[in-house]
Structure 1
Amino acid sequence: MLPAFVGLGLAVLAPVVLLVWLYRTLGVGGLVLGVVLIAVATTAGLRLRRTVVRRRGGRYTPDELARLDDQGLAVAAARILRRDGWRVVDLTVREGRPRLYARDRQGRELDVAFRPVVTSDEDEGMSGPAPLREAGRPRGDRLTRVVVHLGGYSRADVLWASRQGGVHLLDGRQLQRWADGDTLDELGLPG
């Protein structure tokens, strides 16, 4: 509790001290300059806070998604799942690659894997199935496997997933809809 009071005191005291110092040093012009600086800093801080709160709430813009690496994509997917009411367990440490397990109130389970983030040139040449290994849990009827990728999937990937049963591929377009607020049910993913 004490750090919160100290932070609040500094947040109030620092601008007042700055304004007094600027007024004594530069006069009325310094006071006006100080007020403008405080207004600009407050506006920038509020804008940054709004962005952070939006991301923590599980909403991302297309530009923010495009800048994510493999681990960042897993964090974003976990936040989006939590936004939609799923309880999420990060299996990354156990598996070595980003991996999530999620369960909702209806008892549905998701095994979420991530296809590596690569440049578009490398993505064109990649073929074969999406990397999806067993997570060490017995396969249940309610377990749905989802592979998330920022780009698109090749025809071979789609054929591979259709042969697996219970595997759904979430491409960049669907990922953006999901990050905009659509649920997985609206995207037609979990069985």
Structure 2
Amino acid sequence: MTTCDETARSAFLAAMARAATAVAAVATDGPAGRRGTTVSALSSVSAEPPLLLVCLHRLSPTCAAIEGNGRFTVNLLSESQSAISDVFAGRGLAQGEDKFATGDWRLGADGALRLAGAAATFHCALEAAHAHGTHRVFVGQVLESAPGAERPLLYQERAYRRLAPCAPAPV
């Protein structure tokens, strides 16, 4: 693993804080356990076949559970679900408290954990996992996706944000 000095690291983090990103709760359930975490690093990889990429810190217990279960869901949080983001990020949760008690989680017949009221949900079969730097990069083949009716929650400059239309550009 390549390391950088603290100045370069701080500059990188400050620059990345300018990026507005979607916020999602990644969840998995199965023989390797029920786990979940908050992510803001997610992206579409391909539409044919439908593939989704998520990055999780390598020390997150969710990483081993995803690899052991071979499936995960990406629940794109809606504007009203910032409390779920906080809990899945480890904030505001008492020791031993079940994070899945926050929000309306539904376990489908296919074993996928879906969050009611999410802006969108993606049920994925694990296709690949790679270690890069401090994170594990997971690529999932999307088995099922569903858009919700809610607007997505964003994160930028270390705060939650909402989408707003831009004013028309002057001509």
Same fold (TM over 0.5): no
| Higher relative contact order (Cα pairs below 8 Å, separated by 6+ residues) | 2
TM-score bracket, shorter-length normalisation: under 0.3
| TM-score normalised by the chain length of structure 2 | 0.23
Kindly indicate which of the two structures has a greater share of residues assigned to strand: 2
Greater CA radius of gyration, 1 or 2? Answer: 1
